[in-house]
Chain A
Amino acid sequence: MRPFSYVRATSPAEAAQQAAQVEGARFIAGGTNLLDLMKLEIETPLHLIDVNDLALDRIEATPEGGLRIGALVRNTDLAADSRVRKDYGLLSRALLAGASGQLRNAATTAGNLLQRTRCPYFYDTNQACNKRHPGSGCAAIGGVTRQLGIIGVSSACIATHPSDMAVAMRVLDAQVETIRPDGTTRVIPMADFHRLPGNTPNIETALSANELITAVTLPAPVGGTHIYQKVRDRASYAFALISIAAVVQKNGTGHVAVGGVAHRPWRVEEAEKLMPDGAKAVTAKLLAGATPTHENEFKVTLVERTLASVMSQARAAS
């Protein structure tokens, strides 16, 4: 690990301002992903700004009837919150399907959104990777691709976003609240938060330099049956091959997003409209234009079959 200086920030505005003033500064909260990548020298910050004292660890009701989740709310606490369990069950289920108990106790809401891909070629510093070294190429293309992306990929990157929570947040139409070094704040819809790789897979989110996430908000509950179904190589503590996050209403309409297939949670609103027609119709629209490899083309079939299972569970529950 490279040497770095360290401070604890006392307010979100101060943290963002400090980050802009020191070269190579990064925020650290749970540290479960950043510290791991620092050990491998994939991340090499010169200065760490610890944001754990910023009092962003509360979940509050919003005037619109939704919830404002502080950026520092730990995954365990978000999954266990009684309001989330009752009205946003999908979110609890997604969180509980991810990582281990130890990691969920440390990992934060904002950090979860910002975690980096688990593409093995990103992690192996001997391999070419346009995320690590823009312009160096992508060793994953033509390599071992079973876990990698099938849609929205580019000739520069076929990595996936690893988060389960983000898939649920996308289906729930969450919004990300931030503060910038100049003190201005803004709200970024989840639909716009994660980018597709294009020619710049190193730029993963809509955040600008040194912009700090302060909260994630959820709109008022929409009811329906909430299901998060994750398919993985072992029964616990593994990243998704694919996952389905769905809210299904009694009349068969609803919302659905897919994890494990793209550089961001994959949701196509036009495809959702076909939910009353069944999983085959939805999947055809949802994954239209997919470019899987020989090793991961099974994911297309897996999405359709898992979605069929989810819709069948929803019918049984309503």
Chain B
Amino acid sequence: MNDRDLMKLTRRKFLIVGAVTATSVALPPFISALASAANSARPVTNPVSMEVNGVPRQMNLDTRTTLLDALREHLQLTGTKKGCDHGQCGACTVIANGRRVNSCLTLAVMQQGSKITTVEGLGTPDKLHPMQAAFIKHDGYQCGYCTPGQICSAVAVLDEIRQGIPSHASPSLTDRPELIAREFQERMSGNICRCGAYSNIIQAISEVAEATA
């Protein structure tokens, strides 16, 4: 690899190459051979088909592949981010069959036949989704890593309130929940923002809620 090739590498590919190199340096070859010998079960692949952002996609995946990894590593839809990979941060939030879920905590094979919407499916740089535009207008991010998950979650939150689904912040279980900041704050608690852009995120959601009320 010459310098020119290196310059062409995206940051993402550079990180992958770096990680592979680091692994091969850190572990002598026999360690990984031993590890796989101890693991007698062999990887199993299954065919999976799902509709992602309106496009039918077919893949042959190791059963262990999460929906998140299928999106990022197999369909190259890298808008959805891997934060904690344990359902604690919400960076991987996508909309599956109309409902927001943590894509890191569902297997791709379990989503056979599902309709998935990622941040790439909400809008494009030329035609932003109103929630994307509102996040930009209100500075609803700093580093931007949690933003795709925040936006997918926020879009679904407004939908959940309109469907009348109550929350921990709803004063009454029988009245319709309101499109107010207190509700947004509670319902967005599964999306962590390390930069602390929370107040601007709530402003963005509030603006979209008012515009579409």
Contact = CB atoms under 8 A, between A and B. Distances in A.
Interface of B: 39, 41-44, 46, 62-64, 66, 85-87, 90, 93, 99-102, 105-107, 109-110, 112, 153, 156-157, 160, 163-168, 170, 173-174, 185-191
19 contacts: A2-B39, A3-B44, A3-B64, A6-B46, A8-B112, A36-B105, A48-B107, A52-B110, A76-B99, A76-B165, A86-B173, A86-B174, A101-B153, A101-B187, A101-B190, A102-B102, A105-B99, A106-B101, A106-B105
Contacts of A3: 39, 41-44, 62-64
Nearest to B173: A85
Contact of B160 (A86, A101, A103): A101
A69 to B, nearest CB: 17
Interface string A80-123: 10000110010011001101111101100000000000000000
Contacts, number: 114
Question: Which secondary structure dominates where chain B touches chain A?
Answer: loop
Nearest to B90: A102
B64 A103 contact: no
B204 to A, nearest CB: 17
B166 A96 contact: yes
Interface residues of A, number: 38
B67 to A, nearest CB: 10
B64 A4 contact: yes
A187 interface: no
Which has the most chain A C-beta neighbours within 10 Å: B62, B85, B102? B102
A92 B63 CA distance: 34
Contacts of A80: 163-166
Contacts of B109: 6, 50
A59 to B, nearest CB: 15
Contact of B44 (A5, A85, A235): A5
A105 B94 CA distance: 12
Given A31-B105, A85-B174, A102-B93, 18 more contacts: A2-B39, A3-B62, A3-B64, A28-B110, A35-B66, A35-B105, A35-B107, A76-B165, A85-B173, A96-B167, A101-B100, A101-B189, A102-B87, A103-B87, A105-B99, A106-B102, A106-B105, A235-B189
B165 A102 contact: no
Contacts of A305: none
B43 A31 contact: no
A50 B173 contact: no
B190 A100 contact: yes
A80 B105 CA distance: 23
B71 to A, nearest CB: 15
Contact of A236 (B156, B163, B168, B170): B168
A92 B164 CA distance: 13
B102 A92 contact: no
B41 A2 contact: yes
Nearest to B102: A102
Contact of A79 (B42, B166, B189): B166
Contact of A50 (B86, B99, B101, B110): B110
Interface string A50-65: 1010000000000000
Contacts of A235: 186, 189
B42 to A, nearest CB: 6
A46 B163 CA distance: 40
Contacts of B100: 101-102, 105
Contact of A100 (B107, B185, B189): B189
Contacts of B189: 100-101, 235-237
A250 interface: no
B106 A100 contact: no
Contact of B86 (A30, A39, A79): A39
Nearest to B98: A105
B190 A39 contact: no
A97 B174 CA distance: 17
A99 B90 CA distance: 12
A22 interface: no
A16 B110 CA distance: 19
Contacts of B62: 3
Nearest to A106: B101
Nearest to A74: B99
A6 B46 CA distance: 8
Nearest to B39: A2
A252 B102 CA distance: 43
A32 interface: yes
Contacts of B163: 80
Contacts of A36: 86-87, 105
Contacts of B112: 8
B156 A101 contact: yes
A1 interface: yes
Nearest to B92: A102
